[in-house]
Copies of this chain bind each other. A is one copy, B any other.
Amino acid sequence: MTQSKTDPRVLRTRKLIMDSFIELSGEKEFKDITVKDITSEAMINRATFYYHFEDIYDLLDKVLSEVLLVNLNCDVYENNELNEAMLVAIFQAITNFQKSLSNRCHRGYEDTIARIIREQLEIIFYKRLLKQCPTENEQALKVTAVMLSWGIYGVSVEWSKNNQQVPPEEFIKSAIPYIIAGINIGFAKGE
């Protein structure tokens, strides 16, 4: 499915780097974290960092993607239809993620984080739509995925700002009928 086999050394090292980065993120702001900090926390050589990541922004990118994806994959790949339950699950994953990670650290990088989350959502939606509507025009699916990712992420921002007392699953439900309708109007379930 993913890649057949990866050298265990790279798995170990990548994990060491990512864990160290997450650890340091809890201690100080992103802008104050240097590559040296990360590699000495991880007890690996600084050059090895650059063997795995282009720079510290690339690391941020991959860490965020991975953390978000871990939350998502569990729920998403059990259901296989893009229905109400799945959308609720995704929305919850996003709000969980925002509560756990992006709030407590990375001040000043909210925009970067937002972009990464949206990109990940877009990828997930697109894959899902492709599988669900294989006969449909790919361009149309792409546009739908973009719209969904921006739209749902926007709702999560709104929830963070003004409605954290409402349970996320509750909050998203009021938007779901529009979403489902939008999908079904565009192209009626793979027909």
Interface set of A (CB-CB < 8 Å, partner B)? 8, 11-12, 43-45
- A12: nearest residue on chain B (CB-CB)? B43
For the complex, what is the distance from the CA of A43 to the CA of B16, rounded to whole Å? 14
Which residue of chain B lies nearest to A45 when distances are taken between CB atoms in the complex?
B8
Contact of A44 among B8, B43, B44 (CB under 8 A): B8
A12 partner residues in chain B, CB cutoff 8 A: 43
**5 closest cross-chain pairs (CB), A and B:** A8-B43, A12-B43, A8-B44, A8-B45, A11-B43
* List of B residues within 8 angstroms of A45 by Cβ: 8
Chain B residues with Cβ under 8 A from A44's Cβ? 8
Q: Of all chain B residues, which has the CB nearest A8?
A: B43
With a cutoff of 8 Å between Cβ atoms, the chain B residues found around residue A8 in the complex are 43-45
Considering the chains assembled together, what is the distance between the CA atoms of A43 and B13 in angstroms?
12
